[in-house]
């Protein structure tokens, strides 16, 4: 049996989740758009998608030490979100997408950023976040995405933007926008 369709077929489909209450620290609030990281969460067919959208404008990086936190140079906890299993499900995939290439004010900056998880809620600019990275970004530029299919985060870890390498000098970002996405699912009943 064959089906023949004639004419134009169009449809507007919008799937959007709800923006949830801020889950970031004061040290992750820059001057870009959005100023503070914003988190959305949606569920489709049991898969929980959590997106954290953030801008690194006015956030600082030391540049000489890998795995250090990127945040406001004036201090403050610089986490951009938190991995809570009850909210995010058991995460089975993460991704980081660059929607605006990073640049830095008057310094040799690093485009090599990671998302690092840590049990501490108190890490600030230049703090040692460790090497538990759900995403190793590499030199991301606009329109690129890096995915990871192995969950390295522990339940209730805080998520930080960190430096991947040691090739830059100390400075602040002038631009740079990213979307960090986690896909999870509750344990099957």
In a 13 Å sphere around the CA of 176, the CA atoms on its Cβ side amount to: 25
Residue linked to tokens 């988190």: 39
DSSP string covering 93-123 = EEEEEEEEEEEEESS----EEEEEEES-S--
- 9 domain-assigned: no
- 6 domain-assigned: no
- 4 domain-assigned: no
* Omega of the bond leading into 34 within 30 degrees of 0 (cis): yes
- 2 domain-assigned: no
Domain membership of residue 27 as a residue range: 22-185
Note the pTM of the prediction, 2 decimals.
0.86
- 132 domain-assigned: yes
- 11 domain-assigned: no
Render each residue's pLDDT in the chain as its tens digit; 189 residues: 454 545 554 444 444 568 887 789 999 998 888 889 999 999 999 999 999 999 999 999 887 778 899 999 999 999 999 999 999 999 999 999 999 998 887 666 666 788 999 999 999 999 999 877 887 777 788 999 999 999 989 999 999 999 887 777 788 889 999 999 999 999 998
Number of domains in the chain: 1
- 108 domain-assigned: yes
- 31 domain-assigned: yes
């Amino acid at each position: 049996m064959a089906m023949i369709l004639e004419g134009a077929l169009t449809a507007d489909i919008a799937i959007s989740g709800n923006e949830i209450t801020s889950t970031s620290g004061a040290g992750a609030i820059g001057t870009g758009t959005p100023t503070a990281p914003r988190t959305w969460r949606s569920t489709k067919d049991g898969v929980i998608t959590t997106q954290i959208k953030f801008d690194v404008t006015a956030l600082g990086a030391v540049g000489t030490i890998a795995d250090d936190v990127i945040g406001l140079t004036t201090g403050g906890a610089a986490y951009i979100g938190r991995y809570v299993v009850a909210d995010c499900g058991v995460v089975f995939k993460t991704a980081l997408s660059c929607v605006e290439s990073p640049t830095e004010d008057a310094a040799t900056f690093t485009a090599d950023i990671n998302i690092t998880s840590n049990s501490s809620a108190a890490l600030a600019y230049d703090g040692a976040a460790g090497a538990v990275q759900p995403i190793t970004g590499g030199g991301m530029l606009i329109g690129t995405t890096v995915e990871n299919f192995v969950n390295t985060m522990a339940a209730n870890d805080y998520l930080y933007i960190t430096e991947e390498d040691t090739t830059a000098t100390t400075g602040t970002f002038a631009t740079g926008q990213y979307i960090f996405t986690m896909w999870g699912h509750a344990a099957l009943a």
